[in-house]
Amino acid sequence: MAIAAGDRFGRFGDIIEKGAYYVPPQPVPDMTILDSNMRDKVLEADYRERSKAINKQEIEKPMLYAFIMSKLSTESEDEVKRHTNYSVFNSSKDPLQLWKAQEELHLVTSVTSVSKNAAVVLLQAESDYMLCNQGEFETITKFKERFENKLKAYNSSLGPNANVSEPRAAMAFLSKLNKLQYGQFLAHMINVINSDC
């Protein structure tokens, strides 16, 4: 993907390998030009070219965003859409944040699948469970399935005598629902639970 992005977007496509936007260097006066007026004109032209390059990157951000999205597998795209910051970087069409989210999701997957160290597995399973929140476009059924998988992995890493209790897991599930869609439902459930005390 890095080669294709570089071929299509030039230095702007470097975000895939470098993890940062390309910033054109600040122009400096060419001291080999003896005429100061000519030197100033050349410097001014260099600044204009730099501004054009920066503006071009801004204009091409949505295009690079779409390019990256088009290269993701269906599974990767679904995972990205469940990322906690998806609504933010999707609305701004920020390709760097999209790429970082993609890298983060793949890093999490590789650490938990490759590591045999119990402490590393526990740390990652705990992080996955704690950060598991319903995505903006995720159905409650899909989220429940994903939440239960994260909980199962977390319980497995804790050991048989330290599992998360069912009431605690149920409360965690409720708290992780998308607040825009299920805010009223969550408030109602909390009131019902409190009224039983």
What does pLDDT average to in each consecutive run of 10 residues of the chain (197 residues)? Answer: 79 81 89 91 94 92 91 80 87 91 64 55 80 82 85 80 86 87 82 73
Q: What is the pLDDT of residue 63?
A: 93
Nearest to 72 by CA among 111, 103, 39: 103
Q: What is the pLDDT of residue 109?
A: 45
The Cα 76–Cα 86 span in angstroms is: 13
The Cα 58–Cα 12 span in angstroms is: 10
- How many CB atoms neighbour CB 37 within 10 A? 8
Q: What is the pLDDT of residue 117?
A: 61
Residue 11 is classified by DSSP as G
CA dihedral of 160, 161, 165, 169, whole degrees rounded to 10:
-50
CA dihedral of 49, 55, 59, 63, whole degrees rounded to 10:
60
Cα angle at 132 between 108 and 163, to 5 degrees?
95
Which residues make Cβ contacts (< 8 Å) with residue 127, sequence separation at least 6?
108
Q: Is the dihedral of CA 35, 40, 43, 45 positive or negative?
A: negative
The Cα 132–Cα 82 span in angstroms is: 9
Q: What is the pLDDT of residue 1?
A: 74
Nearest to 19 by CA among 103, 76, 85: 103
Q: What is the pLDDT of residue 52?
A: 93
- How many CB atoms neighbour CB 48 within 10 A? 11
Q: What is the pLDDT of residue 116?
A: 52
Q: pTM here?
A: 0.51
Q: What is the pLDDT of residue 126?
A: 84
Q: What is the pLDDT of residue 159?
A: 73
Domain ranges of the chain: 126-197
Alpha helices, DSSP H, located in the chain: 2-9, 15-18, 36-71, 74-81, 86-92, 95-114, 118-130, 140-158, 166-175, 179-195
Q: What is the pLDDT of residue 107?
A: 54
For 11-169, strand residue ranges (E) read none
Residue 68 one-letter amino acid: I
